[in-house]
C-alpha cells in the first residue's frame, strides 16, 4: 500500500494539542489532539476492500507493514494519528463537547484530485472517549462494515469501509444495558470518506465563540469539498454553502426513504456536512412499513428518529447548524428562507422518488392523493416495503392480491385485503396514464427498487455465525450487497421471519457497540 502518500493536511492547518496525552478531558483551545492507538498483538484481518483501496490511491496489501496499518500498529513515521473535537445536540439537547471517542484519524490521501480521509474505528481511547474504552466489538463492526458498503452499492451517499479486523482483544459490553456485561470480541474497521466533518464540528467552534476558526473551517470545507460553491469573490459564499449542505442532506434523506433506511441516531454529531450517511449504529432497513419504526431501543419512548421523522429531524438538525454558522452570515431571514425551502423541496423530491418506485414517468397533480392513500394503506397493513415494490414489477394485467402474500407480516382480514385490492385497482388505472411503455416503466422501477436489502435479521444471523468463527454468510451477504438490484441469493430475498420479531440485535438495537 502507498502509505507514504498519506498526508496530514488537517492537522497542519488547524490548532491541535500535540502532547499525545489521552486523558479524557475538555480541549477548549484546539480542534484535535494527537493520540496513539492501542496495542493489538493478535490482530487478524477478516476482509479487505481492495477495489476501494485502489480507487482512493492506497493500493494492494503487499507486506506486514500494510497488514499492521489496517489495525493501526507499527505505523510509518509520516502518519501522526489524531482525534478531532466536535460537539452536538443529542436527542434534542445540547451535549457540549463530544469528539472522536473511538475514531482515530490516519490523515488524508489524495488520488486523481480526490481527497479521502482515513480512520480506524475501535483502535483505542482518545481524550474524547468520555469514560468509555475507545474499542468496538465485532458485532457492531460487521454491521458498519457491511451496511456502509451496502448503502454505497444502493447508490446512497455514505462513508465507506476499507477493512475489517479482529483485534484479538476481549471487550466488555452490556448490550441491553441490563446489568449483564459480557465479554465480546474486539474489532477495528478502517473507514473512509471524502471528509468526516460533522455539523457538530461547527457547533463546537460556534459554542466556544471561536468565530475566526469557524470561518477557517467553513473555508476549508468549501474549498475542498464543495466544488458547487464559488469560493472566490463571492459575497454570498457562506449562504451558498449552507444551501449546498441543505441540498446534499436532502438528497441523502430522499435516498434513505427510497431504500427504507432508518439511521436510528440522527444527533447533530452524526450528521455529515457533506451529506453522507455516517456513524452506523442502531440502524435498520425497514421490513414492514411503519412510519413510527425505530430500531434504536434508546429512542423508543419518543421515537424522535423514527423512519417517518427523518426529514423533519434533518430540518431540525440543519436549523441547529444554521444557528452555529450564524456568525458567518448574520442574516436570519436568508437562513430561514433556505430552511423553509428544504421543507418544500422535500415533498417535491419525495414525490418524484415515489413516482419512480411506482414506474411513473412523471408526477401528476392527482398523485399527491394517490401517494397519501398508498402510505396510509402501507401503514395500516404493515406490508414489507421492499417486497411490496418488487411485486409491482409485473404486467398490470397479471396483478393478484395473493401475489402480495410474501409481503404480509400477519394474516390480513377481509377488510384489509379489500384495501389492498382497491389500491391495486387504483394503481392499474394510474399506470394507464403513463406515456412510457411498460418495459420502460419496468426499467425505471428495477433501478429504483432494490432486490436485496441488508435486513437486520440477515446481519444478526451472519454475526452469530461470525462470532463462532464461521464467515460464510458474511461473505455471501457481501456479495449480495454488491449487486442490490439483482437477486443473487433467493433465500435473502424474503421478509423477516417471525422468530426475529422482538429479537435483540435484530429488531431491537441499543447504542452499545
Ligand atoms: P454515538 O452515539 O455512537 O454517535 O456516540 C456518541 C459519542 O460517544 C461519540 O463522541 C463517540 O465517539 C463516543 N463513543 C461511543 N462509544 C464509545 C466507546 N466505546 N469508546 C469511546 N467513545 C465512544
Ligand atoms: Mg457518532
How far, in Å, from the CA of 397 to the mean position of ligand 2? 48
**Are residues 375 and 367 in contact, defined by beta-carbon separation less than 8 angstroms?**
no
How far, in Å, from the CA of 130 to the mean position of ligand 2? 13
Q: What is the pLDDT of residues 483-504, one digit of tens each?
A: 999 999 999 999 999 999 988 8
| DSSP structure class, residue 490 | G
264 lines ligand 1 (CB under 6 A): no
Using DSSP's 3-state secondary structure scheme, residue 488 falls into coil
Determine which residue's CA is closest to atom 11 belonging to ligand 1.
Answer: 101
134 lines ligand 1 (CB under 6 A): yes
pLDDT at 300: 87
pLDDT at 289: 98
pLDDT at 206: 98
**Are residues 241 and 197 in contact, defined by beta-carbon separation less than 8 angstroms?**
no
Question: In the predicted model, is pLDDT for residue 513 greater than 90?
Answer: no
**Are residues 100 and 24 in contact, defined by beta-carbon separation less than 8 angstroms?**
no
Q: What is the pLDDT of residues 430-478, one digit of tens each?
A: 999 999 999 999 999 999 999 999 999 999 999 999 999 999 999 999 9
Beta strands in 239-390 (DSSP E): 261-262, 284-285
**Are residues 277 and 156 in contact, defined by beta-carbon separation less than 8 angstroms?**
yes
Q: How far apart are CA 234 and CA 245, in angstroms?
A: 17
55 lines ligand 1 (CB under 6 A): no
Question: In the predicted model, is pLDDT for residue 175 greater than 90?
Answer: no
Q: How far apart are CA 378 and CA 118, in angstroms?
A: 41
pTM beyond cutoff 0.95: yes
Question: In the predicted model, is pLDDT for residue 141 greater than 90?
Answer: yes
* Banded pLDDT at 56 (limits 50, 70, 90): very high
Determine which residue's CA is closest to atom 15 belonging to ligand 1.
Answer: 101
Ligand 1 atom closest to 86 (CA):
10
Question: In the predicted model, is pLDDT for residue 344 greater than 90?
Answer: yes
Our mutation pick for probing the ligand 1 site, out of 129, 199, 203, 295, counting the most ligand atoms within 8 A of Cβ, is: 129
Phi, psi of 93 (to 5 degrees): -115, 145
pLDDT at 508: 84
Which residues fall within 8 angstroms of residue 152, CB to CB, at 6 or more apart? Answer: 158, 160
Residue % of the chain over a pLDDT of 90: 93
- Categorise residue 260: left if φ over 0, alpha if ψ from -120 to 50, beta otherwise: left
Question: In the predicted model, is pLDDT for residue 233 greater than 90?
Answer: yes
392 lines ligand 1 (CB under 6 A): no
73 lines ligand 1 (CB under 6 A): no
How far, in Å, from the CA of 34 to the mean position of ligand 2? 19
**Which residues are registered as beta bridge partners of 118?**
107, 192
Which residues fall within 8 angstroms of residue 329, CB to CB, at 6 or more apart? Answer: 238, 239, 242, 335
Give me the catalytic one of 47, 269, 367, 384: 269
Domain ranges of the chain: 3-199, 211-355, 365-446, 456-500
pLDDT at 176: 83
How far, in Å, from the CA of 513 to the mean position of ligand 2? 11
Residue 272, C-alpha cell as written in the block: 455529515
How far, in Å, from the CA of 271 to the mean position of ligand 2? 9
Rounded to the nearest angstrom, the gap between the alpha carbon of residue 96 and the centroid of all alpha carbons in its chain is: 23
How far, in Å, from the CA of 150 to the mean position of ligand 2? 19
Q: Which residue, 248, 452, 253, 441, is CA-closest to 355?
A: 441
Ligand 1 atom closest to 99 (CA):
10
Q: How many CA atoms lie within 13 A of 354 on its CB side?
A: 19
Determine which residue's CA is closest to atom 23 belonging to ligand 1.
Answer: 101
Q: What is the pLDDT of residues 101-128, one digit of tens each?
A: 999 999 999 999 899 999 999 999 999 9
129 lines ligand 1 (CB under 6 A): yes
Which ligand has the shortest distance to the CA of 96?
1
Which ligand has the shortest distance to the CA of 184?
1
pLDDT at 481: 98
Question: In the predicted model, is pLDDT for residue 132 greater than 90?
Answer: yes
Summary mean pLDDT of the chain: 96
Which ligand has the shortest distance to the CA of 131?
1
Q: Cell 478531558 identifies what position? A: 25
* Banded pLDDT at 87 (limits 50, 70, 90): very high
How far, in Å, from the CA of 101 to the mean position of ligand 1? 5
Question: In the predicted model, is pLDDT for residue 86 greater than 90?
Answer: yes
pLDDT at 124: 97
Question: In the predicted model, is pLDDT for residue 510 greater than 90?
Answer: no
Cα dihedral 431/434/437/443 (nearest 10): -70
Q: What is the mean pLDDT of residues 353-368?
A: 98
* Banded pLDDT at 398 (limits 50, 70, 90): confident
Ligand 1 atom closest to 279 (CA):
4
Q: What is the mean pLDDT of residues 149-172?
A: 97
366 burial type by CB count under 10 A (0-12 exposed, 13-18 middle, 19+ buried): exposed
Task: Establish whether 269 is a catalytic residue.
Answer: yes
pLDDT at 503: 83
How far is CA 192 from each of CA 68, 231, 245, 267, 342, rounded to the nearest angstrom?
17, 25, 20, 20, 28
pLDDT at 9: 95
Our mutation pick for probing the ligand 1 site, out of 101, 105, 203, 305, counting the most ligand atoms within 8 A of Cβ, is: 101
Q: Give me the residues near ligand 2 (ion), CB cutoff below 5 Å.
A: 270, 279
User: DSSP characters for 123-177?
Assistant: B---TTSTTS-SBEEHHHHHHHHHHHHHHHHHT--B-EEEEEEEEEEEEEE-TTS
Q: What is the mean pLDDT of residues 288-310?
A: 94
98 lines ligand 1 (CB under 6 A): yes
Amino acid at each position: 500500500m502507498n502509505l507514504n502518500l498519506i498526508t496530514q493536511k488537517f492537522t497542519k492547518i488547524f490548532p491541535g494539542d500535540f502532547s499525545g496525552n489521552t486523558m479524557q478531558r475538555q480541549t477548549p483551545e484546539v480542534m484535535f489532539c494527537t493520540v496513539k492507538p492501542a496495542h493489538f498483538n493478535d490482530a487478524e484481518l477478516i476482509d479487505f476492500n481492495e477495489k476501494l483501496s485502489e480507487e482512493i490511491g492506497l493500493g494492494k496489501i503487499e507486506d506486514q507493514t500494510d497488514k499492521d496499518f489496517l489495525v493501526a500498529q507499527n505505523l510509518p513515521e509520516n502518519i501522526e494519528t489524531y482525534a478531532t473535537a466536535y460537539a452536538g445536540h443529542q436527542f434534542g439537547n445540547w451535549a457540549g463537547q463530544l469528539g472522536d471517542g473511538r475514531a482515530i484519524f490516519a490523515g488524508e490521501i489524495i488520488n486523481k484530485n480526490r481527497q479521502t480521509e482515513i480512520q480506524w474505528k475501535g483502535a483505542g481511547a482518545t481524550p474524547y472517549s468520555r469514560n468509555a474504552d475507545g474499542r468496538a466489538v465485532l458485532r457492531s463492526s460487521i454491521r458498519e462494515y457491511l451496511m456502509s458498503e451496502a448503502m454505497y452499492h444502493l447508490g446512497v451517499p455514505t462513508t465507506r469501509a476499507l477493512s475489517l479486523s479482529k483485534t484479538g482483544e476481549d471487550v466488555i459490553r452490556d448490550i441491553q444495558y441490563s446489568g449483564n456485561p459480557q465479554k465480546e470480541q474486539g474489532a477495528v474497521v478502517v473507514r473512509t470518506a471524502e471528509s468526516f466533518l460533522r455539523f457538530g464540528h461547527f457547533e463546537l467552534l460556534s459554542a466556544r465563540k471561536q468565530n475566526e476558526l469557524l470561518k477557517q473551517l467553513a473555508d476549508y470545507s468549501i474549498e475542498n469539498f464543495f466544488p458547487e460553491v464559488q469560493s472566490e469573490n463571492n459575497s454570498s459564499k457562506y449562504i451558498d454553502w449552507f444551501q449546498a449542505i441543505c441540498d446534499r442532506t436532502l438528497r441523502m434523506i430522499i435516498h434513505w426513504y427510497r431504500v427504507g433506511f432508518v439511521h436510528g441516531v440522527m444527533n447533530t454529531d452524526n450528521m455529515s456536512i457533506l451529506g453522507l450517511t455516517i456513524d452506523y449504529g442502531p440502524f435498520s432497513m425497514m421490513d414492514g412499513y411503519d412510519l413510527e419504526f425505530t430500531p434504536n431501543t434508546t429512542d423508543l419512548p419518543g421515537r424522535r428518529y423514527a423512519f417517518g421523522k427523518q426529514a423533519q429531524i434533518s430540518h431540525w438538525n440543519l436549523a441547529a447548524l444554521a444557528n452555529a454558522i450564524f456568525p458567518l452570515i448574520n442574516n436570519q431571514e436568508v437562513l430561514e428562507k433556505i430552511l423553509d425551502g428544504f421543507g418544500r423541496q422535500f415533498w417535491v423530491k419525495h414525490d418524484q422518488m415515489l413516482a419512480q418506485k411506482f414506474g411513473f414517468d412523471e408526477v401528476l397533480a392527482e398523485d399527491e392523493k394517490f401517494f397519501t392513500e398508498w402510505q396510509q394503506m402501507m401503514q395500516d397493513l404493515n406490508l414489507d416495503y421492499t417486497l411490496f415494490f418488487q411485486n409491482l414489477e409485473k404486467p398490470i394485467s397479471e396483478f393478484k392480491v395473493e401475489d402480495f402474500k410474501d409481503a404480509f407480516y400477519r394474516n390480513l382480514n377481509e377488510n384489509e385485503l379489500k384495501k389492498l385490492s382497491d389500491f391495486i385497482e387504483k394503481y392499474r388505472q394510474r399506470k394507464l396514464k403513463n406515456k412510457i411503455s411498460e418495459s420502460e416503466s419496468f426499467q425505471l422501477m428495477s433501478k429504483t427498487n432494490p432486490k436485496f436489502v441488508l435486513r437486520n435479521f440477515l446481519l444478526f444471523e451472519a454475526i452469530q455465525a461470525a462470532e463462532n468463527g464461521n464467515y460464510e454468510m458474511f461473505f455471501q451477504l457481501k456479495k449480495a450487497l454488491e449487486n442490490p438490484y439483482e437477486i443473487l441469493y433467493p433465500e435473502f430475498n424474503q421478509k423477516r421471519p417471525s422468530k426475529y420479531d422482538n429479537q435483540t440485535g435484530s429488531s431491537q438495537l441499543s447504542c452499545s457497540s
